[in-house]
Amino acid sequence: MSVWSDFWRYIQGKLLGGNSYEVRSEDIKDFIDREKWNRLAIYDLALHSGINIIAYALSKCEFRTFLNKKEVWAGEYYLWNYQPNANENASQFLQKLVWTLIYKNECLVVETGTGDLLIADSYTHNRYAVYEDTFSNVTVCADGGTPFTFRKTFRASDVLFFRLSNKNIASLLEQLNQEYTELIQAAVQKFYKGGGERGILNIDGNAVSKNYGTKEDGTPRTFNDVYNEMVNKQFANYFKSPNAVMTLWSGFEYNSRSSDASKKSTSDVKDITDLTDEIYEKVACALQIPPALLKGDIADVRELTKNFLTFSVDPLAKMMEREINRKRNGTEVLRGNYIAIDTSTVQHIEPFDVAEAVDKLRAASVLNVDEIRKRIGEPEIGQPWSREYVMTKNYSGVDPPEEGGTE
């Protein structure tokens, strides 16, 4: 699709049923930023990879629902773990939520009359100091498809409003990208210059007045015609070809001077790789992801995953959990009616690796059989005996001695 088609489609999304719209300079800038024309591909790759890692991890989490401090599996459980709305499953919904949250530093989720949860693509946040905030012009599907704008104004208590911090991570990383753009371009130019072909073209003084025949239209071929064809066409093809022969007119002599360039060290390539590694590390630091995990290093993955869960996924899940509970359950959480986001499901557990730990958890009455099977990815048995808690005598209490007995 052409640039103008993309831009027109972008403007159409702003019409929202109206007949006209005045295109402003802010629209053009927003369109350029949205299409990411002014960003490095390596920066986008690092940022997208990082957000994907967090989004995929959160989509693996289980939203556990409790009623009177007992775990239940009912409508709220199905809503968060399977189908939050008619057009998205839970994984797709959570991945979009994380993307929106990190890119915009905030994410608004509204509930429809049918109970569906929808992520708003645009809205007007009306902030107040002592009164309840409101959200107007809430639009969904603005990034594709047929946009829909709610006519009602939502109160803060009617929506789920997730926010990371006071600083937008994406905007800070964008500043970082702009700083590294010139460095990357300079390193690339240095690399091309170090490995490119150089030479000297000697032109005889009488070459200008020589006869070069005629062109296809019958007009005389001048020196400028010969020179332009030689430099722009013949030399260009010659430099691109691994093996080539080029003929020169009389009076022209080319001498290669690329022997020194062939002796260059690998430092030119290292300049580029060092900068790309640094971009990955900065993005990983901003997203609280271990740099090695973002780069795809497989050494000590288990420890890296623990670090990732502790500093990246757990805080995000806890923030979401509190917002969901205070808006959908309120003070009922004090009576044991709440939602808990279980991040332990992110890391794959091999049953044979945790066999000894499982035995201890079972023997100490920490988990029953069904709970253990659920944690290691096996289906629950669902029998009364598999839901019982047992404790070995090693963990039983110390009974006082009977009266008259000996110690």
Residue 129 lies in a domain: no
Residues 97 and 172 in one domain: yes
Angle between helices 267-287 and 41-59 (to 10 degrees): 40
Residue 173 lies in a domain: yes
Query: Is the CB of residue 338 less than 8 Å from the CB of residue 332?
Result: yes
Residues 319 and 339 in one domain: yes
| Max avg pLDDT among 206-220, 270-284, 346-360 | 206-220
Residue 26 lies in a domain: yes
The full DSSP string for 33-50 is HHHTTTS-HHHHHHHHHH
Residue 5 lies in a domain: yes
More confident of the two residues 104 and 28 = 104
Domain count, the chain: 4
Tell me what pLDDT residue 190 has: 59
pLDDT digits (tens, 9 = 90+) for 274-333: 777 877 888 888 888 998 888 887 777 788 888 899 989 999 999 999 999 999 999 999
Instruction: Report the chain's mean pLDDT, rounded to a whole number.
Output: 78
Tell me what pLDDT residue 181 has: 63
365 is in which domain, residue-wise?
Answer: 349-407
- SS3 state at 85: strand
Residues 275 and 356 in one domain: no
Residues listed for the chain:
407
Residue 146 lies in a domain: no
| Residues 6 or more apart in contact with residue 143 via CB below 8 angstroms | 121
Residue 362 lies in a domain: yes
